[in-house]
């Protein structure tokens, strides 16, 4: 079963910012002209608009690994989805600064960067354009009981900002080539293995 590039879409909070989710420091950052967007980033055990279901244990594992990127300030994303699994720094528009669980929902905050793509993203939000957050990852899927279930080999790469398609599921699944070695550093792979070993001991 070959891995595919999996991309999912979720709408942001109204206006792009859930003020109740922000710390006082973040509110000051916004008052000084910065922009932070927040909302639901992903859901587990729920069939999404693309017809896929992410089992909670798989998404929980991937979010634990993603936390390392967030802490190291390497959790970047792009404006629109590229056709591969590589995050292009020249196209980075935002940095995810926090992620957490709220029931089956993965919540998060994104700091808009002062990059060309970040400035476009900010301009779109300021103009009232409806944007969503969309996960990008590598993995295979399995058809089961009328649902497309994401398999255990799924690896979350990043979260991108996208415009909502008029048709749910308009984001295509691209066939993966040899992307595995380009996505994660050796340290990331070691961290992933350590998390799996620690989870087995719990």
The CA-atom distances, in angstroms, between 10 and each of 16, 84, 123, 190 are 12, 20, 20, 30
- Does residue 202 sit in helix, strand or coil? coil
85, 93, 117, 134: the active-site residue: 134
Instruction: Estimate the share of the chain in helix, then strand, then coil, as percent rounded to the nearest 5.
Output: 30, 35, 35
134 is a catalytic site residue: yes
From 38, 44, 81, 85, the catalytic residue? 81
Instruction: Give whole-number Cα distances, 160 to 47, 148, 156, 189, in Å.
Output: 20, 22, 12, 22
Helix (H, G, I), strand (E, B) or coil at 139: strand
Q: Is 4 left (phi over 0), alpha (psi -120 to 50) or beta?
A: beta
CA distances (Å), 159 to each of 146, 179, 190, in order? 27, 17, 22
Residue 81 annotated among the catalytic residues of the structure: yes
Residues tagged active-site: 81, 134
């Amino acid at each position: 079963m070959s891995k595919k590039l999996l991309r999912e879409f979720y709408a942001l909070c109204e206006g792009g910012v859930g003020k109740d989710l922000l710390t006082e420091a973040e509110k000051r950052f916004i008052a000084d002209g910065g922009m932070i967007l927040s909302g639901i980033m992903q859901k587990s055990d729920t069939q999404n608009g693309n017809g896929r279901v992410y089992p909670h244990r798989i998404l929980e594992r991937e979010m634990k690994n993603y936390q390392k990127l967030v802490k190291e300030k390497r959790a970047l994303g792009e404006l629109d989805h590229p056709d591969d699994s590589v995050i292009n720094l020249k196209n980075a528009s935002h940095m995810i600064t926090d992620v957490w669980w709220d029931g089956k929902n993965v919540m998060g905050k994104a700091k808009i960067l002062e990059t060309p793509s970040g400035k476009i993203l900010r301009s779109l939000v300021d103009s009232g354009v409806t944007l969503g957050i969309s996960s990008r990852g590598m993995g295979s899927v399995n058809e089961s009981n009328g649902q497309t279930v994401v398999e255990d080999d799924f690896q979350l790469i990043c979260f991108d900002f996208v415009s909502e398609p008029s048709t749910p599921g308009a984001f295509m699944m691209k066939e993966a080539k040899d992307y595995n070695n380009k996505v994660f550093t050796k340290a990331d792979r070691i961290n992933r293995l350590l998390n799996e070993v620690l989870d087995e001991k719990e």
